[in-house]
Amino acid sequence: MSHEFSLTSIPDLNSRYDIYGAVHKGLRKAGCDLLGRLGTADFHNAEETGFLIEDLRHYLMLAASHVGHEDDHIHEALAAKGLSTTTLDEQHDDHRTAFRELEELVVAWENAWPLHKPACGRKLYLAFAAYIADDFAHMHEEETVTGPLLWRNFTDHEMLGIEMRIIASLSPEKSMAFMRIMIPAINPAERAALLGAMKKDAPPEVFQAVIDFAVRPALSVGDFAQLAGALQLAA
């Protein structure tokens, strides 16, 4: 799937509700981190690389879930207003094909003789790099083409409703997993806004679990201190 875009036509993304921003930032950062680890991995070392493969599978699970969330909620909302999602649907089909092919390459590495593991690992690295490149172009199109399409046809309140339905569809475990990749990827103001809304609306024990298991481990001491100050968190 080819993507064409101009860097001079990026809309003012601060002017309206951004349904894509935080999760896309999370997927970009986590994907880049994984790509770097795959590039430096010693694929001879099955034990060490096994942890990396586990993280890769976890990332691909989140990416596949994200594709499904967009299909079930954003694309359905667009279609309900008579707006075409054909291009987006085709790109998502390409993603699903990539997920299957990447899993096949993972299994090939797992089953390879020790002598052949480095070659299998290189194939996996190159395939994941190609997927990341395609996904980055796809996310750019969503944020600069589909985002403004949503703004023209939905109010901010309606888009917030779509996002709330996505969040409501997540299991607690998956919700926490998405928070773990989003929090270190977004900027301080975005963190404060996201977690400030959660502090206001979520049960206290849920909010505290997010702080303890998704936020604090993902941030530097300085970044967490800045966030704690903004949210007036207890020491």
CA–CA dist 50, 54 (Å, integer): 6
Domain 19-171: give its CATH code: 1.20.120.520
Structure tokens at 229: 């100050």
- Residue 14 — pLDDT band, cuts 50, 70, 90? low
Residue 72: how many other CB atoms lie within 10 Å: 13
CA–CA dist 110, 212 (Å, integer): 34
DSSP letter assigned to residue 112: S
Model confidence at 235: pLDDT above 80:
no
Q: Which whole number is the average pLDDT over 145-162? A: 94
- How much of the chain, in percent, has pLDDT values that exceed 90? 88
Write out pLDDT tens, residues 28-59: 999 999 999 999 999 999 888 999 999 999 99
Phi, psi of 95 (to 5 degrees): -60, -45
- Residue 3 — pLDDT band, cuts 50, 70, 90? low
Model confidence at 82: pLDDT above 60:
yes
Task: Collapse the DSSP code of 80 into the 3-class scheme (helix H, G, I; strand E, B; otherwise coil) and give the result.
Answer: helix
DSSP letter assigned to residue 170: S
Higher-pLDDT residue of 104 and 235 is 104
Residue type for 129, please? A
Structure tokens at 188: 């301080």
Domain boundaries, the chain: 19-171, 187-235
Write out pLDDT tens, residues 88-106: 999 999 999 999 999 999 9
